[in-house]
């Protein structure tokens, strides 16, 4: 019953308030008819009924109404406030591996699945750029699949870290009482020069939940390659020492 003038705009608010980490789907359908109730004249009304689902054809011919159909996917995302970034530190031209543990709540829908709380996502590395898919099976619960990847703040940071960082899921557990899923990742960092860049570990469940965890990669100064000793041959005379430098890139 909303009346619109020619070229007038209409805002349609859509509210999404999830209580679990599960994707919801719906359709926003807008039905437009002429105010006087008459049909739009169209010669090939029968053909429209076969090809276009967004057009309502009247029995006596003509177009009775037009539909705009917009699919909406509501994807809940865990809050990220108060998350301390995991720090992966390594000297340049060396390689380090770290265990990173993340906690996910409300993963499996059902009686034991917890609603999304304010502290639903926690992150720590107290244990000493590829998209991958894993499965979690726990007793009588349905198998849950996860996708995870590292996202970077810019393409420049991605070009610097993409080939230097690797993430692989090595362990997954689920608490049957609380519904919290624990994922443990093995993070490999092999920097070739000093740097300090941030990334985000994004974990997505096929049921629709998304969790994001900040990660800080720090590459410190490399170890000294060698010590150059120059022995003086006398006062006011030059002493020369030669050494080679090899570049790892072109």
User: Is 80 exceeded by the pLDDT of residue 227?
Assistant: yes
- The reply to whether 57 falls in a domain is yes
Q: What is the pLDDT of residue 128?
A: 39
Tokens of residue 103, six digits = 């906690």
* β-pairing verdict for 144-152 and 132-136: antiparallel
Length of the chain equals 250
Tokens of residue 15, six digits = 């509210």
Same domain, 213 and 189: yes
Identify the CATH number of the domain in which residue 183 sits. 2.60.40.2310
pTM attached to this predicted model: 0.66
pLDDT by residue (tens digit) across 190-206?
Answer: 999 999 999 999 998 87
**Three-class secondary structure of residue 160 per DSSP:** helix
Q: Residue 42 belongs to what H/E stretch?
A: none
**Beta strand ranges found along 4-61 (DSSP E):** 24-32, 55-57
Q: What is the pLDDT of residue 247?
A: 82
Total of domains in the chain: 2
Neighbours of 194 (CB within 10 A): 13
Q: What is the pLDDT of residue 8?
A: 92
Tokens of residue 21, six digits = 């980490």
List CB contacts of 39: < 8 A, sequence separation 6 or more.
58, 60, 61, 62, 63, 64
Same domain, 69 and 160: no
Same domain, 91 and 185: yes
Q: Are 25 and 74 in contact (CB under 8 A)?
A: yes
- The reply to whether 191 falls in a domain is yes
Q: Give the pLDDT mean for 148-166.
A: 91
Closest CA relative to residue 21, chosen from 140, 123, 103, 131: 103
Q: Residue 183 belongs to what H/E stretch?
A: strand 181-189
Same domain, 173 and 104: yes
């Amino acid at each position: 019953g909303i009346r619109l003038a020619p070229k007038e705009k209409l805002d349609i608010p859509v509210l999404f308030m999830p209580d679990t980490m599960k994707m919801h789907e719906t359709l926003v359908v807008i039905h437009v008819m002429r105010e006087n109730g008459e049909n739009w004249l169209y010669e090939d009304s029968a053909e429209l009924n076969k090809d276009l689902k967004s057009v309502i054809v009247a029995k006596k011919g003509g177009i009775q109404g037009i539909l705009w159909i917009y699919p909406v996917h509501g994807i809940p995302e865990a809050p990220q406030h108060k998350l301390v970034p995991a720090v992966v530190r390594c000297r340049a031209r060396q390689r380090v591996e770290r265990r990173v543990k993340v906690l996910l709540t409300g993963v499996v829908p059902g009686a034991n699945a917890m609603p999304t709380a304010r502290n639903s996502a926690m992150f720590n590395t107290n244990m000493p750029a590829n998209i991958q898919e894993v499965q979690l099976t726990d007793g009588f619960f349905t198998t849950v699949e996860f996708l995870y990847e590292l996202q970077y703040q810019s393409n420049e940071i991605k070009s610097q870290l993409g080939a230097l960082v690797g993430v692989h899921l090595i362990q997954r557990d689920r608490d049957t009482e609380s519904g919290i899923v624990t994922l443990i990742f093995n993070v490999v960092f092999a920097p070739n020069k000093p740097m300090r860049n941030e990334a985000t570990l994004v974990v997505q469940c096929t049921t629709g939940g998304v969790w994001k965890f900040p990660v800080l990669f720090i590459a410190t100064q490399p170890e000294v390659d060698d010590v150059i000793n120059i022995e003086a041959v006398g006062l006011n005379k030059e002493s020369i020492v030669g050494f080679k430098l090899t570049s790892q890139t072109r």
